[in-house]
Amino acid sequence: MKLSTGAVAAISGINQGTLETWVVKGIARPTVRGKGHGTATYFDLMGTLALTYGNAIRTIGIGSPLIEEIIAYLSGTTEEELLGHFASGETTPYPTPFGIVWLNPKDMPPQQHVVDGWVDDAMNLEKCLAHVKAEATRLAGAFKRGPKPRKLQLKVK
């Protein structure tokens, strides 16, 4: 499945200009990069997921270097790897200065969620993957007809 820059911007909630800047800077890694005016740039499912999740954690205050790390990590992983983590209850890859740590939100004490600015929906990659897949599937045949993709809705606790 390949998604255009416009579709990825709409699904992820990232401004299209920001997304294009991220492509130039190497933060976003499209599967097909347009070569000049009039040629399209496309992303695959995992690239779209990486950008959507990166933007979600950006909205809760995670800083740029860690966002870039999580985008790079998720862009290089497979859906099967993610499903393995999800099966273990690990739904939250969290970027740290020491690398990616997978967390099971059920193991976190409730006050930890508040103290660290934790936001369950924004940090839940499993929900993010479901959103990206649903929107990508919906857009696959319909994007040319003009339906507006639904942006990931986050519940802040």
What is the architecture, at CATH level 2, of domain 3-145? Orthogonal Bundle (1.10)
Residue ranges covered by each domain of the chain: 3-145
User: What is the mean pLDDT, run by run of 10 residues, along the chain of 157 residues?
Assistant: 88 90 90 75 92 87 85 94 93 82 74 45 82 85 55 55
- In this prediction the pTM is 0.79
Q: What's the 3-state SS for the chain?
A: CCEEHHHHHHHHCCCHHHHHHHHHHCCCCCCECCCCCCCCCEECHHHHHHHHHHHHHHHCCCCHHHHHHHHHHHHCCCHHHHHHHHHCCCCEEEEECCEEEEECHHHCCHHHHHHCCCCHHHHCHHHHHHHHHHHHHHHHHHHHHCCCCCCCCCCCC
